[in-house]
Amino acid sequence: MAAIYSLFDALLPLTSPGHYIQWHWIQISVANLIVIILMIATFIAALVVPFPGRRRRRGGDE
Amino acid sequence: MAKKFRPDVDAPEYKGRYYPYDIIKEGTIALVVVSLLVVGLAILFGSPDDPAVTLKEWSTAQPVDFATTALSELNGTSGVAGYGPPYNSASDGQKIGPFPVAKWVGVHIPVDTAQDFVLMPLTTLPDVPALTTGLRVWSAASETQKTAWLDAYAKGTMSFANGKITDTATGAGPVPLFMTELTSMARTGALDADLIAGHGYYTTDYTKPLLFLSDGQWFPSIAANDHLSGDQWGMMNELGNYPGQAWLWLYTMWYQVPPYSTSWAANADAMVWATMMVLTVLLALLPFIPGVRSIPRWTRVYRLIWREHYRATAQEGGASPSREGPPSTPTA
Amino acid sequence: MSTTEIDRQWTTKFRRRLTTALPSEKLLPDTQPSYVASWIYVFGVATLSSMMVVIGTGCILAIMGPLWWHESSVGHFVNSLHLWSVEVFFFAMVVHLWGKFFMAAWRGKRQLVWMTGVVTFLASVATAFTGYVSQTNFDSQWISTQAKDGINATGGGAFFNVLNTGQMFMWHIVLMPIAAVVLTGLHILLVRYRGVVPPFEDTSAGKVRA
C-alpha cells in the first residue's frame, strides 16, 4: 500500500524554505518571479513565433 | 451622415479572405495540452499543505505569549478587542478617506473578547472549585474593581514553570487564576474545541479561534518566517518555493508604498481596497477612456500580431478586390 | 391555432431573436478571417481549457469532501492538479488579456466583450481567493486572518466572513464557479456574436498603393 501511495508523491516537492529577492521595497519570491517572466516570455513568443497552417495562402487558393 | 471613423473605437469592415479554422479541434488540442501540462506540473512539484496550527500548539510552544494575549483579550487591549466593526463597537474601524464605511454597515459578527475568549471557556472547566469561586467573585465585582485587578496583574512579570503560568503581581484578584487555568486548558486542546463549538455540536465557523490566534505573536511569527506577512507582499506568496497568487501583485504592492505604508497606514486596507476598486472600474471601462484606449495603436504591437495580414495587403496593393471597398467604413 | 398566435408567443419570439443573433454557423464557425493567424489567438481557448481542468479536478475534490486531500496521497495529488490548473488558468488568462489589449479588441462595438472579460477575471480572482481560504490548513488560516482586514475595511466583512470556513467553502464550490462559468459563457457568446476584431487600418499601405 505504501508503494502505491508513494506513486502519488511529488518528484521535486517545492517545500524547502522559499527563496526571495529583495530590491529596495520590492520583494518577490523566486517562484512568482519565474511565473511572471514565463508569462512575459510566452506573450512575446506568441507574437513572434510564426503560426502554422497558413501556408496555403502562398498557393493562392481561395 | 456617416459618423467620423474613430480608429480606437470603430473597426474597419473586413472584406478579405476567410480560411478553414477548426475551433473544436483547436479546443480539443488545447485541452489535451493543458491537461498534460497540469499533470506534469503536479507530478513534478505537488502542492503545499502545512497542517493548521492550534491554540494547543501555541500555548505549548509559547505559553507566555499565549497568556499575555489572553490577558489582552480580558482587559480589552488586544487587536480584536479594539477592532470595531464588524466584531464590536470599540472603535470606528478603518475609513475610506472621511467615510467610516465599516461603521455604517455595523457590528454583524459580535465578538466580546473577554467573555468569548476567556470567561466563557473557563466556565466549561469541570471540578476546579477555586475557579468556580473566582468566576463568581469576578462577575460580582464592579468594573472599577475589575480594572484595578487587571492593572495590578499587568504590572507583574509573567513566567512559565512546572507546566503553569505564574505572575509576580499582587492584588490582582482572580485574574492570576484565570490566566493559569486558561493556559492549562489551551495546552490540553480543550480551548480549541470550546471556541469552535460555540455554535453547537456541528460547526464550520472558525471565526473565534482564528481571531484569538491572530492576536498573539506566535502565529504571525510563523507566517513572517515564510514571507507571508502583509509588509512582505505576503498575499501573493505561498509556502516554500511554490508560486502563489501572483495575480494579486498590484493589490499587495500598494501596501508597500507611501502613503499607504506611511501616513495612511492606519487605514491602509480601506485605502488599498478603494484604490483597487477605482483601478478595476477603469480597466473595465478602458475602451471608453480616450488616450488609454489609443495605447495599442501607438505602441504598434499589433503590426507584429497581424504581420501576415499587412504583408498580404501590401503585396496585393490596391489591386486586390478584397481591399477595394472603402476600408475605413465603420461597422457602425 | 393561427400562425399569428404562434408568432406572438414569447417562446417563438425568443427563439427567432436567438437564431437571428447567433445562427449556428456564427456560433460554431468553420472558417476565420485570414488575419486570425497568430499564436496569441490560442490563449483564449487555453484559458477555457484550463478552466475545464480546474472544474474537473475540483469536482473530484468535491466528491471526496473537504478533508480528503489532507489524508490521502491520491487526494493530495488531485489537489496538486487543482492548484496547477489554477496557475495555468491565470497564466493563460493574463497572456490573453495582454494580447486583446494590444489588438484593441474592444473596437467595432466589442466594448462589452472586453468588459465581460474584465469581470470574468475578477470573478476568477475571487473564486481562487475563496479556494485559498477553504484549504483547511495553515495557508487558509493565515490568508483568512490577513484578508479579513481588507474586506472588513470596505464593510463587506459583515456579510462575507472570510474566517467562516463553511461560508467560504460554499462560495468556492457553488456560488463563484456558477458566476465564473456564466460570465465565461457570456463572454464567449459575445465573441461569437461580434466575431474576431479586424486589424487596424494599414496606415503604411497607402504608400504601397500610391
User: Would you give per-residue pLDDT tens digits along chain B (332 residues)?
Assistant: 567 899 999 999 998 899 999 999 999 999 999 999 999 999 999 999 999 999 999 999 999 999 999 999 999 999 999 999 999 999 998 998 889 999 999 999 999 999 999 999 999 998 889 999 999 999 999 999 999 999 999 999 999 998 899 999 889 999 999 999 999 999 999 999 999 876 678 889 999 999 999 999 999 999 998 888 888 888 888 898 999 998 888 888 989 988 998 888 888 989 999 999 999 999 999 999 999 999 999 999 999 999 989 988 888 764 444 433 344 444 43
Q: What is the pLDDT of residue B332?
A: 37
B254 touches chain A (CB under 8 A): no
- Domain end position, chosen among B175, B190, B221: B221
A8 within a domain of the structure (yes/no): no
User: Parallel, antiparallel, or unpaired for β A26-29 and B158-161?
Assistant: unpaired
Which residue range is the domain that position A44 belongs to?
A: 18-48
- Are B193 and B71 contained in the same domain? yes
**Å between B13 CA and nearest CA of chain A:** 19
Residues of C in contact with B210 (CB under 8 A): 141, 144-145, 163
B29 within a domain of the structure (yes/no): no
- CB contacts under 8 A, C 138-167 vs B, are 138-147, 149-159, 161, 163-167
- CA distances C13 to B181, C20, C24, C193, Å, are 73, 11, 17, 18
Residue type, B113: T
> Where residue A60 falls among pLDDT bands split at 50, 70, 90?
very low
Residues of C in contact with B314 (CB under 8 A): 202, 204-205, 208
- Are B182 and B69 contained in the same domain? yes
Does the ipTM exceed 0.85?
yes
- Domain end position, chosen among C51, C70, C103: C103
B43 touches chain A (CB under 8 A): yes
Residues B238, B64 contacting (CB under 8 angstroms): no
- Are B152 and B258 contained in the same domain? no
Across chain C, mean pLDDT equals 93
What CATH number corresponds to the domain at position C114?
Answer: 1.20.810.10
H or E, element range at B167: strand B164-167
C62 within a domain of the structure (yes/no): yes
User: Parallel, antiparallel, or unpaired for β A20-23 and A26-29?
Assistant: antiparallel
- Are B10 and B65 contained in the same domain? no
- Domain end position, chosen among C82, C103, C124: C103
Q: What is the pLDDT of residue C112?
A: 97
Q: What is the pLDDT of residue C1?
A: 57
Most A CBs within 10 Å, among B225, B239, B241, to test the A interface? B241
Q: Is the peptide bond before B85 cis (omega within 30 degrees of 0)?
A: no
Which residue range is the domain that position B290 belongs to?
A: 1-21+243-332
- SS3 of B329, please? coil
Domain count, chain A: 1
Residues pairing with B308 in the sheet: none
C19 within a domain of the structure (yes/no): no
Q: Using one digit for the tens of pLDDT, what is the confidence trace for B22-76? A: 999 999 999 999 999 999 999 999 999 999 999 999 999 999 999 999 999 999 9
C32 within a domain of the structure (yes/no): no
C3 within a domain of the structure (yes/no): no
Residue B117 per-residue DSSP state: I
A27 touches chain B (CB under 8 A): yes
B23 touches chain C (CB under 8 A): yes
Q: Using one digit for the tens of pLDDT, what is the confidence trace for C119-140? A: 999 999 999 999 999 999 999 9
B226 within a domain of the structure (yes/no): no
Domain count, chain B: 2
- CA distances C142 to B51, B228, C34, C91, Å, are 12, 8, 51, 24
Q: Could you tell me the end-to-end alpha-carbon distance of chain A, in angstroms, rounded to an integer?
A: 61
Instruction: Measure CB to CB from residue B52 to each of C88, C128, C141 and give the nearest one.
Output: C141
Chains A and B form CB pairs within 8 A to the count of 82
Q: Which residues of B151-160 are buried (b: 16+ CB within 10 A; e: fewer)?
A: ebbbebebeb
Low-confidence ranges of chain C (pLDDT < 70): 1-2, 203-210
Q: Using one digit for the tens of pLDDT, what is the confidence trace for A9-40? A: 888 888 888 888 888 888 888 999 999 999 99
- Are C113 and C46 contained in the same domain? no
